[in-house]
Chains A and B, each alone.
Chain A
Amino acid sequence: MLHIINKSASDRNCLDACLAVAAEGGAILLIEDAVYAATRGNAAAAKLQQAQGRLKVYILQADLEARGMADRLIEGVTPVDYGGFVDLAASNTCQSWL
């Protein structure tokens, strides 16, 4: 399953809620304000790194760049463009954690 998160982890609990429930082997895609979670020094970054053993983490590059954070992406998170987003959605059932 592809879990899509679009909220800042410092504002809402969507990422925490997703990480608590998501089954092993799934993928997480961070879009919109959720991209901040995967940047160096963000309090949520450690949670993402912990989850990387059981979940693959992707991030929408355009949203990261728009927010001036592209140079702070943490290791182990794979940047994708919108085409990559489409590919992920094509190969998984999608759940948006709104």
Chain B
Amino acid sequence: MEGVVKKFMFVNRKAPYGTIYALESLEVVLISAAFDQDVSLAFLDDGVYQLKKGQQTKGIETKNFSPTYRALDGYDIEKLYVEREALEARGLAEEDLLVDVTVLSRQEMGALMEQMDVVLSF
């Protein structure tokens, strides 16, 4: 296994807080950094809400994990892809997001997925 580098993609399609999936996805992403793999994060559909600026979770007594997305580059995880159509359908633009991302069309996203070895969906 030593030296094996696979292309991992974490596909995030769910909004944060309503369910635990967004948080759990981040947990696996952070663990994967320790394995020196080629890691990409894709945000599709409601998953784009995970990256919305200005999340304040005091009122729901839940940890605000959104700052973690900004810390990812410290773990050499720099490939964050966001579906353009998903942003548009939700009234969001790139400047509403709390971290630098690459915006891709659905078609480009599909082509990128085809290059992956392991896809984990949340």
Contact = CB atoms under 8 A, between A and B. Distances in A.
Interface of A: 1, 13, 17, 20-23, 26, 93-98
Nearest to A26: B114
B57 interface: no
30 contacts: A1-B114, A1-B116, A13-B45, A17-B13, A17-B44, A17-B45, A20-B106, A21-B44, A21-B83, A21-B106, A21-B107, A21-B109, A21-B110, A21-B113, A22-B110, A23-B111, A23-B114, A26-B114, A93-B116, A93-B117, A93-B118, A93-B119, A94-B119, A95-B11, A95-B113, A96-B121, A97-B13, A98-B13, A98-B121, A98-B122
B110 A95 contact: no
B113 A23 contact: yes
B85 interface: yes
A98 B114 CA distance: 18
Contact of B85 (A20, A26, A94, A97): A20
Interface of B: 11, 13, 44-45, 83, 85, 106-107, 109-111, 113-114, 116-119, 121-122
B87 to A, nearest CB: 14
Nearest to A94: B119
Contacts of B85: 20
A6 to B, nearest CB: 11
A54 B85 CA distance: 21
Given A20-B106, A98-B122, 5 more contacts: A21-B44, A23-B111, A26-B114, A93-B117, A95-B11
B117 A95 contact: no
Contacts of B11: 95
Interface centre among B109, B111, B119 (most CB of A within 10 A): B119
Contacts of B109: 21
The 6 closest A-B pairs by CB, nearest first: A23-B110, A95-B119, A21-B110, A98-B121, A21-B106, A20-B106
B7 to A, nearest CB: 9
